[in-house]
Amino acid sequence: MGKILGITIILFTLLVACVPENKTNSNSENDEITVAAYYFPNYHEDNRNASYHGKGWTEWELVKNAKPRFANHHQPNVPAWGYTDEANPVHMAQKIDAAADNGIDAFIFDWYMYEDGPFLDRCIDEGFLKAKNCERIKFGLMWANHDWTDIHPYTRGAEQKLLYPGIISPERFDEISDFVINKYFKKSNYWKIDGKAYFSVYDIQKFVEGFGSMEATKAAMDRMREKAIAAGLSGVHWNLVAWGNPILPVEKAPSNTPELIKMLGFDSSTSYVWIHHVQLPETQTDFNYVRDAYFKHWDKVKTEYGVPYFPNVTMGWDPTPRCDLNSEWAPVRYPFMNTIGNNTPENFKTALQMTREKLLADPNGARILNINCWNEWTEGSYLEPDIVNGMAYLKAIKEIFTKND
């Protein structure tokens, strides 16, 4: 009897070991990979924008007015769906279906919350969450806690006016913690990793500066975890957006990212865009050159950071729509800077395939990647269809990451 029981226990143990973990689990050993896409929500009317740019203004105005700035430069990029209102749930439903039908599992919304209140929040609250099909896709928050400056558009050589400071007080962060847990984390389609709500921080320097010390910052992060558990969740999955090359003029890259991750207790790290790690030496730097340089960065940080690293695939880079049309173009300072060229759907698909293979080659590594971006139209990195390539970039994702279609 004891022998039979022992054999039964061994068989049960083997059976459990063979059951694949959930697709969003960062250490899954199967070949299911979660694909997330960043979403930039500045394509709907917002009171802050209205007070500064005028009623009805959205960043579509910069997209519409863009012009070629150098030889072989393709502008404007024209959306095939038109200049849609992302705060309209009908328009958002179209985006959700296109994403879900083509292998995207989650939107990571660039989420803006300042000391004096929210910014660009109607996209999520009125568009995404009220879309009849919003359950088709997960959503998460990347707290874009950087300073917001006047660069829409930017006149070359002008002082960049600070509009909304990114630093948050400890008291305000406690309020924010309660807010996101109750309003977003509890949603059935909020993105969770190992049962913990995904919450990403863009500017770690600003975050720590608001608390005054690493110790106070870590204590606040731990309090947010405890609040999430008290609300019935498994906790918070804290993710750090790590970068080395500043892009926005107000950015200052930390010099001790591995130490920050360890001391603050982040659960994972990731990247927002390739050029945070790769210099662009040419006016139109070749997409494949940037890809290969980013892969070298990936090799370095996936061990250096000491936590799971979720790699990024960038569709392109061209912030010239944010350049004032009356200013002569030259690569001097964002958004007057070099771009990525040759970012064809075919090259994008190859980058996706290489990323998938690289993820699967590490049996104990992450099974998550993110893409920049669903709709960074004014930075030349978007998956939404345009009148030249249609759905080609989305189809590339589908062909690499979905099965039996």
The secondary structure of residue 329, as a DSSP letter, is P
pLDDT of residue 7: 36
Whether 244 and 260 have beta carbons less than 8 Å apart is answered as no
pLDDT of residue 178: 98
Bridge partners of residue 141, in order along the sequence: 109, 199
User: Could you tell me if residue 180 is inside a domain?
Assistant: yes
User: Could you tell me if residue 23 is inside a domain?
Assistant: no
Distance CA(61)–CA(172), nearest Å, equals: 33
User: Could you tell me if residue 154 is inside a domain?
Assistant: yes
User: Could you tell me if residue 19 is inside a domain?
Assistant: no
pLDDT digits (tens, 9 = 90+) for 243-259: 887 777 667 777 789 99
Structure-derived torsion over alpha carbons of residues 81, 86, 88, 89, reported in degrees to the nearest 10:
90
Across the 405 residues of the chain, what is the mean pLDDT of every consecutive 10-residue run? 38 33 43 95 98 97 98 98 98 98 98 98 98 98 96 94 96 98 98 97 95 97 98 98 80 83 97 96 98 97 95 98 97 96 98 98 94 98 98 98 69
- 359-366 long-range contacts (CB < 8 A, ≥24 apart) are 359/33, 359/311, 360/31, 360/33, 362/302, 363/29, 364/27, 364/29, 365/27, 365/302, 365/308, 365/309, 366/26, 366/27, 366/268, 366/308, 366/309, 366/310, 366/311
pLDDT digits (tens, 9 = 90+) for 53-68: 999 999 999 999 999 9
Give, in order, the Cα–Cα distances in Å from 315 to each of 110, 198, 380: 17, 23, 8
Question: Model's pTM, two decimal places?
Answer: 0.92
**How many separate domains does the chain show?**
1
Q: Residue 294 sits in a domain of what CATH number?
A: 3.20.20.80
Distance CA(266)–CA(117), nearest Å, equals: 25
Distance CA(69)–CA(327), nearest Å, equals: 10
User: Could you tell me if residue 147 is inside a domain?
Assistant: yes
Contacts of 255 (CB under 8 A, 6+ apart): none
Q: How many other C-beta atoms are found inside a 10 Å radius of the C-beta of residue 403?
A: 7
pLDDT of residue 391: 98
User: Could you tell me if residue 22 is inside a domain?
Assistant: no
Name the maximum alpha-carbon separation found in the chain.
87
- Torsions phi, psi of 61, nearest 5? -60, -40
Contacts of 30 (CB under 8 A, 6+ apart): 20, 21, 367
Domain region containing 211: 33-401
User: Could you tell me if residue 21 is inside a domain?
Assistant: no
User: Could you tell me if residue 79 is inside a domain?
Assistant: yes
